[in-house]
């Protein structure tokens, strides 16, 4: 009887998967439409404009999980079938520009930054909608809406430079795996072997870390080598500038340890022919630092002694949408979270809507908020401080990878595993 039930459940799942993939085949091809767009503005507001459209040869994302139910991120893309108006694809993400809008510089300057999103390539005319989340109500509001015809002469269909691609780990069809791509930055031509070795070391560190350690078979891992003229990266605060492929640098927003790049076009050009669900830029220096933004990219340095945990922390941001849980370090953001609203990240709360977070992971009788004492400090609870703010925001455990490089807490681990299932085209 049990075997019969299991067989029926398996058959039902396969049928549902087939129906979902049939929807993909109805609306999309297994290649990508890359949409490069500019975000411009200041602390008072922002606007968006299309910069270019590109057809690219791979689609590594899910074939069934097309409409994103996470609703994470500061921005959200929705794709509608133009003829019927049906929502056929959506995805949330963050950008570095979003962070810049909260800095003091944005109060006196107006800037424009290039950003990029890839969607499965449409077979039919679509309507593309870009939305931005408002901090006032935490809802998404439209920034840009336009129709796109797949046969348009304004879509660039040319090949780009093919960089050297090393397959570090391959477990199967990209549409049913998480495709993690390491991208070289600040490695000269003669340092490309070092890059591949560094990428392999990072991969191994990730799969030694729970919960990733239980999911190695769910990943494909690629290393994409790009040659830079100089080794290393910019240190603008010390007047040091390097000629590198992706134009990365420390001192983002004036913070010495914050390592990022604004050059999204070079990043996307480098991975144009590689299935890419998650992107980590590996930077050839031994300094401490890094950065990560949800569904955008993460980056870190190759040779610092704290490299493995920095990588895992930043990957937590970019892959699973995890928030920083520390609250006493220097940051450039001003009032990054609205304490009157529930943040979207799965591992912090203002208690405005705690039911939607990790309440089910807390033992009965645990006080909320939870004191940091011998009874509770190693248990899941609601500890005050997180998201760069010491009061009014709460984290799941006293210590976690997203605070101080301790093991991932139960709430973060669950968020990571949900994202793995999403990319593996499973129920999440």
Q: Domains of the chain (ranges plus CATH)?
A: 15-156 (2.60.40.3250), 164-281 (3.40.390.10)
pLDDT in tens, 48-73: 999 999 999 999 999 999 999 999 99
Whole-angstrom Cα distance, residue 348 to residue 255?
Answer: 23
Q: Does 297 score more than 50 pLDDT?
A: yes
Q: Which residue matches tokens 């509001």?
A: 141
- The confidence score (pLDDT) of residue 19 equals 61
* 228 in Cβ contact with 188 (< 8 Å): yes
Whole-angstrom Cα distance, residue 357 to residue 227?
Answer: 43
- The confidence score (pLDDT) of residue 20 equals 64
* 232 in Cβ contact with 282 (< 8 Å): no
- Per-residue pLDDT band at 336 (split at 50, 70, 90): confident
Tokens standing for residue 395: 């984290």
Whole-angstrom Cα distance, residue 258 to residue 290?
Answer: 6
Distances (CA, A) of 249 to 31, 254, 300, 315, 358: 32, 11, 11, 18, 36
Q: What is the mean pLDDT of residues 111-131?
A: 98
Phi, psi (5° rounding) for residue 281?
-90, 120
| Predicted TM-score of the model (pTM) | 0.93
Higher-confidence position of 125 and 13:
125
Look over the chain and give the mean of its residue pLDDT values, rounded to a whole number.
94
Q: What percent of the chain has pLDDT over 70?
A: 94
Partners of residue 185 on adjacent β-strands:
283
Q: What is the DSSP letter of 108?
A: T
- The confidence score (pLDDT) of residue 67 equals 98
Whole-angstrom Cα distance, residue 410 to residue 326?
Answer: 17
- Per-residue pLDDT band at 174 (split at 50, 70, 90): very high
- Per-residue pLDDT band at 334 (split at 50, 70, 90): low
* 308 in Cβ contact with 205 (< 8 Å): yes
Q: Does 369 score more than 70 pLDDT?
A: yes
Whole-angstrom Cα distance, residue 109 to residue 254?
Answer: 15
Q: What percent of the chain has pLDDT over 90?
A: 92
- Per-residue pLDDT band at 172 (split at 50, 70, 90): very high
Identify the weakest region by mean pLDDT among 21-30, 181-190, 200-209, 314-323: 21-30
Whole-angstrom Cα distance, residue 352 to residue 419?
Answer: 24
**Residue environment code for 204-218, b if the CB has 16+ CB neighbours within 10 A, otherwise e:** eebbebebbeebeeb
Q: Does 6 score more than 50 pLDDT?
A: no
Whether the bond into 369 is cis, omega within 30 of 0: yes
Whole-angstrom Cα distance, residue 250 to residue 296?
Answer: 18
* 253 in Cβ contact with 305 (< 8 Å): no
By C-alpha distance, which of 384, 405, 394 is closest to 354?
A: 394
Whole-angstrom Cα distance, residue 272 to residue 162?
Answer: 8
* 398 in Cβ contact with 412 (< 8 Å): no
- The confidence score (pLDDT) of residue 372 equals 94
Q: Cα torsion at 102, 108, 112, 115 (round to 10°)?
A: -10
* 394 in Cβ contact with 383 (< 8 Å): yes
């Amino acid at each position: 009887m049990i075997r019969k039930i299991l067989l029926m459940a398996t058959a039902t799942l396969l049928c549902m998967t087939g129906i979902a993939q049939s929807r993909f085949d109805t609306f999309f091809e297994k290649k990508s439409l890359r949409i490069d767009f500019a975000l411009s503005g200041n602390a008072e507001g922002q606007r968006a404009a299309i910069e270019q459209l590109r057809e690219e040869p791979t689609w590594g994302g899910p074939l069934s999980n097309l409409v994103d139910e996470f609703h994470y991120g500061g921005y959200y893309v929705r794709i509608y079938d133009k003829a019927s108006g049906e929502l056929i694809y959506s995805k949330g993400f963050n950008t570095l520009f979003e962070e810049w809008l909260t800095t003091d510089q944005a109060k006196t300057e107006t800037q424009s930054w290039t950003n990029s999103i890839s969607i499965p390539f449409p077979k039919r005319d679509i309507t593309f909608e870009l939305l931005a989340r408002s901090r006032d109500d935490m809802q998404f509001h439209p920034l840009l809406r336009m129709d796109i015809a797949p046969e348009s002469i304004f879509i660039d269909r040319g090949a780009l430079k093919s960089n050297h691609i090393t397959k570090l780990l391959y477990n199967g069809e990209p549409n049913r795996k998480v495709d993690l791509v390491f991208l070289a930055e600040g490695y000269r031509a003669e340092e490309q072997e070092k890059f591949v070795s560094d990428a392999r070391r990072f991969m191994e560190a990730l799969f030694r870390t729970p919960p990733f350690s239980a999911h190695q078979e769910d990943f494909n891992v690629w290393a994409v080598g790009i040659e830079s003229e100089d080794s290393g990266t910019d240190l603008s605060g010390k007047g040091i500038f390097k000629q590198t492929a992706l134009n990365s640098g420390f001192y983002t927003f004036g913070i010495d340890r914050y390592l990022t790049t604004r050059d999204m076009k070079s990043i996307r050009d480098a991975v144009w022919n590689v299935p890419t669900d998650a992107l980590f830029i590996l930077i050839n220096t031994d300094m401490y630092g890094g950065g990560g933004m949800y569904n955008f990219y993460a980056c870190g340095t190759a040779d610092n002694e704290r490299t493995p945990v920095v990588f895992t922390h930043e990957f937590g941001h970019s892959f699973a949408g995890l928030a920083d849980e520390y609250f006493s370090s220097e940051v450039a953001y001003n009032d990054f979270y609205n304490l009157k609203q529930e943040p979207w990240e799965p591992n912090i709360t203002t208690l405005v809507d705690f039911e939607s977070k990790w309440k089910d992971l807390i033992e009965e009788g645990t006080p909320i908020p939870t004191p940091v004492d011998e009874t509770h400090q190693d248990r899941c609870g609601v500890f005050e401080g997180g998201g760069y703010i010491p009061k009014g925001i709460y984290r799941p455990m006293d210590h976690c990878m997203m605070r101080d490089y301790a093991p991932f807490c139960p709430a973060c681990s669950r968020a990571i595993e949900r994202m793995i299932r999403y990319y593996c085209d499973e129920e999440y």
